[in-house]
Amino acid sequence: MKKKLIIANWKLNGNKVSILNFLNLLNKHDIEEKCKIIMSFPVIYLYLAKTIIYKKNIFLGAQNIDVNLSGPFTGEISVNMLKDIGIDYVILGHSERRKYHKESDTLIAKKFELVKKANLIPILCVGENKEEKKLGQTQEVCARQLNSVISICGPQIFNDTIIAYEPIWAIGSGETATPSSVQKIHRFIKEYIKKYGFVNSDKISVQYGGSVDENNVAQLLYEADIDGVLVGGASLNYNKFKKIIDIVNAF
């Protein structure tokens, strides 16, 4: 059975004390073998977090990397630096990075390749905005975002990777996509990758992200192709996050 993932994206939030408190509680919480948690704190706290975590199913992820490995790129962090401190996952192409940092599909695909080459696991965010949803372009948008990775990195690249389907209109809005619509697009993503990428769909995990909380997570996980969730806002509150873990534990 594929592990159910819970990815927590703290974005630009948290400090030393809040992260230590959160991890001390999380370390003590029962997390079933079939469940895996990836905490994505701001990069400056990842090393500290690494020294605190002792549970074997809690992992750490970064929220971005630079497209270069070293050199005169002031302010950037490379994938090798993350590897150096024992980080396993990297979120790429989050809609906030696409929007505020003007990251293109091509740039994201290059970063995806770097993460794979470093033997870390990329978490590629894809998804449509409100206008594209209204126009019925969800599949087309996701296919375009996947295609750029396939065309730059080659067909096998999606083996052992994570895709997070995150409709932009659902992120931080309190409006969640219906489980059946998420199921449909997750199926589409898996079939698409299988068709163009020659990948066994058991080797990719497709997460849903967009206003997931303790009240809607169960309905989402009943769907066959929702392999886990990416949680933003609700992951900042330990009690809410713990309830999400308990629900996932029960599946």
Give the binding site for ligand PEP (CB under 6 A): 9, 11, 94, 166, 171-172, 209-212, 230-234
- Among candidate residues 96, 103, 166, 214, the one labeled active-site is 166
- Radius of gyration in angstroms for the set of CA atoms belonging to the chain, rounded to a whole number: 17
DSSP 8-state assignment for residue 200: -
- Closer residue to ligand PEP (CB): 6 or 26: 6
Angle between helical axes of 179-197 and 138-153 (0-180°, round to 10): 30
- Closer residue to ligand PEP (CB): 93 or 197: 93
- Closer residue to ligand PEP (CB): 166 or 227: 166
**Least CB distance to ligand PEP at residue 40 (A):** 9
Torsion angle in degrees (nearest 10) through CA of 149, 42, 26, 173: -70
Torsion angle in degrees (nearest 10) through CA of 76, 17, 170, 101: -20
Residue type for 205, please? S
- Closer residue to ligand PEP (CB): 18 or 80: 18
**Least CB distance to ligand PEP at residue 152 (A):** 23
**Least CB distance to ligand PEP at residue 141 (A):** 16
| Catalytic site includes residue 103 | no
**Least CB distance to ligand PEP at residue 102 (A):** 18
List phi, psi (to 5°) of 52: -95, -35
Is 52:23 a contact under the CB 8 Å cutoff? Answer: yes
- Closer residue to ligand PEP (CB): 145 or 199: 145
Q: Which tokens in the block code for residue 150?
A: 């396939």
Which residue's CB comes closest to ligand PEP?
Answer: 232
| Catalytic site includes residue 166 | yes
**Least CB distance to ligand PEP at residue 12 (A):** 11
Residue 202: how many CB atoms within 10 A of its CB? 9
Q: Calculate the alpha carbon distances from 41 to 72, 178, 213 in Å.
A: 25, 28, 18
- Among candidate residues 94, 96, 103, 186, the one labeled active-site is 94
As annotated, the active-site residues are 94, 166
